[in-house]
């Protein structure tokens, strides 16, 4: 079974802090994604990566950056956290044949910025 693991289920940070959200998948998938989930808005893509060191902006990349130094790990970085970044963050992965189709999600990190 594919497993996508997000390092924290809950995280509380302060405005202005640099925040790292980590995601690891164990199925050697090329594609990895970061989404944020807000009530009534569904899932919105922040960034995705189709290979090591490769990244593409999603629909709402402002205020975020990502890092993919190893195939299994995809990190989301909030450069200077703001209260409007309080949300549920979901990481996902998919194999090469499904480049734009996240197939396996982690359980999410609920991030609160105070």
Partner 1 sequence: GQQLNQSPQSMFIQEGEDVSMNCTSSSIFNTWLWYKQDPGEGPVLLIALYKAGELTSNGRLTAQFGITRKDSFLNISASIPSDVGIYFCAGLGQGAQKLVFGQGTRLTINP
Residues in contact with partner 1 by the rule CB under 8 A:
4, 40-45, 48, 56, 58-59, 90, 92, 100-108
Q: Is the dihedral angle over the CA atoms 64, 60, 102, 5 positive or is it negative?
A: positive
Q: Give dist(CA 47, CA 63) in Å, integer.
A: 11
**Residue 80 belongs to what H/E stretch?**
none
Give the pair of three-digit tokens for residue 9. 């289920």
Q: Are 95 and 104 in contact (CB under 8 A)?
A: no
- Which residue, 15 or 91, is less far from partner 1 as judged by CB? 91
User: Least distance from C-beta 75 to partner 1, angstroms?
Assistant: 17
- Which residue, 18 or 36, is less far from partner 1 as judged by CB? 36
- Which residue, 9 or 18, is less far from partner 1 as judged by CB? 9
User: Least distance from C-beta 27 to partner 1, angstroms?
Assistant: 14
């Amino acid at each position: 079974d594919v497993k996508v693991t997000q390092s924290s289920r809950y995280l509380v940070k302060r405005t202005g802090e640099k925040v790292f959200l980590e995601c690891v998948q164990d199925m050697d998938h090329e594609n990895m994604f970061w989404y944020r989930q807000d009530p009534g808005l569904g899932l919105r893509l922040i960034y995705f990566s189709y290979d090591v060191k490769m990244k593409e902006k999603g629909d709402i990349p402002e205020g975020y950056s990502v890092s993919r130094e190893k195939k299994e790990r995809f990190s989301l970085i909030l450069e200077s956290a703001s209260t409007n970044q309080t949300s549920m963050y979901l990481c996902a992965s998919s194999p090469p044949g499904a480049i734009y189709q996240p197939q396996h999600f982690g359980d999410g990190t609920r991030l609160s910025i105070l």
